[in-house]
Amino acid sequence: MTDVRILVADDLGAEGMEILGQAGEVTLKTGMDEDTLRETLPGYHAVIVRSATKVTARSLELAKDLVVIGRAGIGIDNIDVAAATGHGIVVMNTPLTAAVTTAEHAIALMTSLARNIPQADAALKAGRWDKKKFVGTELSGKTLGVIGLGKIGSVVASRGVGLAMNVIASDPQVDESMAPAGVQIVHFEDLLAQADFITLHVPKMEATTGLINAEAFAKMKDGVRLIHAARGGIVVEKDLLDALASGKVAGAALDVFESEPLAEDHPLRGLDNVVLTPHIGASTTEAKRNVSIDMANQIVTCLTTGIVLNGINTPLIAPADAPRVAPFLSLTRNLAGLLTQVFPGTLHSLRLTLQGDTTHAATEALKAEMIAGALAPKSDIPVTSVNAAHIAEQMGVDVFCDESSVKRDFVSLVRVEAVIDGEHHRISGTVLGHRHGRMVEFDGYLLDAIPEGHLLVTFHRDRPGVIGDIGRVLGTEGTNVARVQMGAPENGSQGPSLGIWNLDNALVEGELQQICEIDSIEHAYSVQL
C-alpha cells in the first residue's frame, strides 16, 4: 500500500510514532469524541487507540479507506468489533506486551490488600503510629482463585504458586493440560466456594459483564478478598459494596471501574478495607515503551504485507510463521481474483487445496484470502479477509479446504478451484525464494507467470505474428509490457494457447476491444490484482 495515512487517537509513545513515521503520514489527534472521530477517519488507512478513544459503529460509517484498528493494549471493549468486521476492517491488539506488567500489578494489589499497606502508609504519613490496627493475613497456604487463565491470568497463577499459595483456576477454554505447573483447574462455582483470594482476568464481553454479582458473592467464602485488574463492568459495584458492608467480602483491591474516572463521591473511596488504583495495571515504563513499539510494528506489517498479527477478528498467524506465510497470502488472494475476473459468471463454490508445511501453518488465513480475492470483483462492498466468509455465506458460495499432495514438483503449493456457471476451473501457484509468487498452472495450462498488478489474459490461436499483433495494439496506446508468459494446451490438445501479460499500467478505454478484434484472439480479459 502506498501513501499510507495513520491516525493515532491516543498517546502512543515516541518509539512507536517514529516507526509509523517511516511507513507513511502520521497524525496525532487525541481527545476525540464520537462525532469528531467520525469526521476525522475518512481518508485514513489505520487508526490506533488505547483505552480512552471509543471506536463505535457510528464513527466507522464514513471510514471507507480504513484497513485496520489497532488497540495498543489488551482490552478491546472500547472498539465495536462487530461493526468493524462488517466493514471488513481488521481489529488487532497487543496481548503479550502488558501481560507481565498487569499481572504484577494484580499481585501487588493482593499483597497490599492482605497487609493493609496503603492504609498503614497513609496513617503513618498523617502522623499516627497505628501498629496494632493494621493486622494483616499471610498469603502462604491460602487458596488463590484465578478467574480467566489467559496470558495475564497464567502469569498471575504462576506467581501465586511461587508465593506458596494453593492456586486454582477457572476458564472454560483451558483444560488441565494447558494450565501452568501447580495450578488446578476447577469449575467456576467450586472456585467461588474454595478461594480465600479471588482475582479476575477475563475480557469484558456479554458473557462476563456482571459476572461477579450478588449471586456470585453469596457462593464465596465468608471473609474472601477480591482483586480486580481486568475491565470495569465485570464486577457489579453495588453488589460488591453490599458484600463489603456485610463482611462477606473482607476487602477488595480494584484497578478498574464501571465508570472511569471513578466519581469523587463514589462510596468505594470512603472504605478502609478497599485498595484503589486509577487503572494503572499496564502503566510501567517498560510496558508503555513495548506496547508502543509492538503496536506500530503490527500496523506497519499489516499495511505493507497484509499479515495480521494478534488479530481479534481474523484467523491467527503465529509471529514466527509470518515471514514465510506472507507471500502465500497475497498469492492465494491473487490466484482466486484472477479466476473470477477471467470467468465472471455466477460463483457457486470455492475449494482451496494446500500442500507443504508453510501453507499448513496458516490454513484459515489462506482460506480467508482465497474467499476475499474471489469475491472482491463480485461485491459492491469492500471484501477483506475479515468479512469474506460472512459475505460468501450471504452470496450462497460454498467454501471447502483440503490439505494434500497436489504436485510433487513443489514443496509448497496452493490450488484454488472454483465452480462458475456450472463449470469447474482451477489455478495453482507457489512461492520462489520465500518472496516471489508464481502461477504454475491454470486450467491445465502449465506456465510460470507472476499473478500481480495489471494483467492482460489472452486465449489465442498459436499462429505466427499473434504476439506482435497484440504488442502493436498495446504499444500504440502507450501500454508497456513488463513480462509475458505463454502456456500451451494440456496434453498437446488443439485448444487455444494462454497468454499472461504483465503490464505497467491498466488498459485504457477501448484497448481491450481492439485486442479482442485481432483475428487470432478467441478471448481476452483485463485483470487487476
- Using a 10 angstrom Cβ sphere, with 0-12 exposed, 13-18 middle and 19 or more buried, the burial of residue 11 is middle
Task: With residue 105 as reference, give the H or E element that holds it.
Answer: helix 99-115
* pLDDT tens-digit series, residues 413-423: 999 999 999 99
The confidence score (pLDDT) of residue 411 equals 83
Query: Does the pLDDT of residue 97 top 90, yes or no?
Result: no
pLDDT at 404: 74
Residue 432: φ, ψ to 5°: -100, 130
Kindly state the cell numbers that stand for 202: 477475563
Q: Give the pLDDT confidence of 307-324 residue by residue, as tens digits.
A: 899 999 998 888 888 888
Q: Average pLDDT for residues 20-45, to the nearest whole number?
A: 97
Q: What is the mean pLDDT of residues 421-426?
A: 96
Q: What is the pLDDT of residue 318?
A: 81
Q: Cα(495)–Cα(505) distance, rounded to whole angstroms?
A: 29
User: If DSSP codes are grouped into helix, strand and coil, which group holds residue 92?
Assistant: strand
Reduced to 3 states, what is the DSSP secondary structure of residue 131? Answer: coil
CB 366 within 8 A of CB 432: no
- The pLDDT, as a whole number, for residue 408 is 63
Helices (H), ranges, 203-284: 214-218, 237-246
Mean pLDDT across the chain: 93
Give the DSSP H or E segment for 182. Answer: none
State the Cα–Cα distance between residues 524 and 517, nearest whole angstrom: 10
Domains annotated on the chain, with CATH: 5-95+287-305 (3.40.50.720), 99-276 (3.40.50.720), 322-528 (3.30.1330.90)
- pLDDT reported for residue 442: 95
Q: What is the pLDDT of residues 55-84, one digit of tens each?
A: 999 999 999 999 999 999 988 989 999 999
Lowest mean pLDDT among 77-91, 204-218, 380-394, 415-429: 380-394
pLDDT band for position 432 (50/70/90)? confident
In angstroms, the CA 255 to CA 105 distance is 9
pLDDT at 30: 97
Cα 468–Cα 480–Cα 523 angle in degrees, nearest 5: 55
Confidence of residue 489 (pLDDT cuts 50, 70, 90): confident
Q: Is 137 helix (H, G, I), strand (E, B) or coil?
A: coil
Question: Where do the H-state alpha helices sit in 306-396?
Answer: 322-342, 357-360, 363-375, 388-395
Pairing of strands 224-228, 197-200: parallel
Q: Which three cell numbers stand for residue 305?
A: 504485507
Q: Which among 505, 12, 518, 98 is positioned nearest to 296, based on CA atoms?
A: 12
Do 185 and 169 meet the contact criterion of CB atoms below 8 Å apart? yes
Give backbone dihedrals phi and psi of 23, rounded to 5 degrees, phi first.
Answer: -100, -20
Separation CA 100–CA 229 (nearest Å): 13
- pLDDT value of residue 336: 97
Percentage of the residues of the chain whose pLDDT score is greater than 70: 98
Residues with catalytic roles: 231, 260, 279
Confidence label for 434 from pLDDT (cuts 50, 70 and 90): low
pLDDT at 246 over 80: yes
User: What are phi and psi for residue 488, nearest 5 degrees?
Assistant: -85, 160
| Residue 427 grid coordinates | 489455478
> To which residue does cell 500500500 refer?
1
Q: Got the DSSP string for 37-79?
A: HHHH-TT-SEEEE-SSS-B-TGGGTT-TT--EEEESSS--TTB
Nearest Cα to Cα of residue 70 among 309, 384, 386, 320? 309
The confidence score (pLDDT) of residue 406 equals 61
User: Which triple of cell numbers denotes residue 34?
Assistant: 464520537
Between CA 347 and CA 340 the distance in angstroms is: 8
- The label of the residue with cell 481486568 reads 230
- Is the pLDDT assigned to residue 302 strictly greater than 90? yes
382/42: higher pLDDT: 42
Query: 40 is written with which cell numbers?
Result: 476525522
| Alpha carbons 208 and 173: distance in angstroms, whole number | 14
State mean pLDDT over 437-441: 94
Residue 466, C-beta contacts closer than 8 angstroms, at least 6 positions apart: 460, 518, 520, 521
Distances (CA, A) of 335 to 225, 392, 415: 58, 17, 8
Confidence at residue 339, expressed as pLDDT on a 0 to 100 scale: 96
Kindly indicate the confidence band of residue 492, based on its pLDDT and cuts at 50, 70 and 90: low
The answer on pLDDT for 491 being more than 80 is no
Rg (CA), the chain: 29
- Please tell me the distance from the alpha carbon of residue 87 to that of residue 386, in angstroms, as a whole number: 8
Per-residue pLDDT averaged across 273-298, rounded? 95
pLDDT in tens, 179-206: 999 999 999 999 999 999 999 999 998 9
Q: Kindly state the DSSP code that residue 354 receives in the 8-state scheme.
A: E
Integer Cα distance of 45 and 62 in angstroms? 12
Q: How many residues does the chain have?
A: 529
Q: What is the pTM of this model?
A: 0.76
Q: Which helix (H) or strand (E) holds 501?
A: strand 497-503
If pLDDT is split at 50, 70 and 90, which confidence band does 281 have?
Answer: very high
Residue at 235: amino acid letter: V
pLDDT in tens, 153-183: 999 999 999 999 999 999 999 988 899 999 9
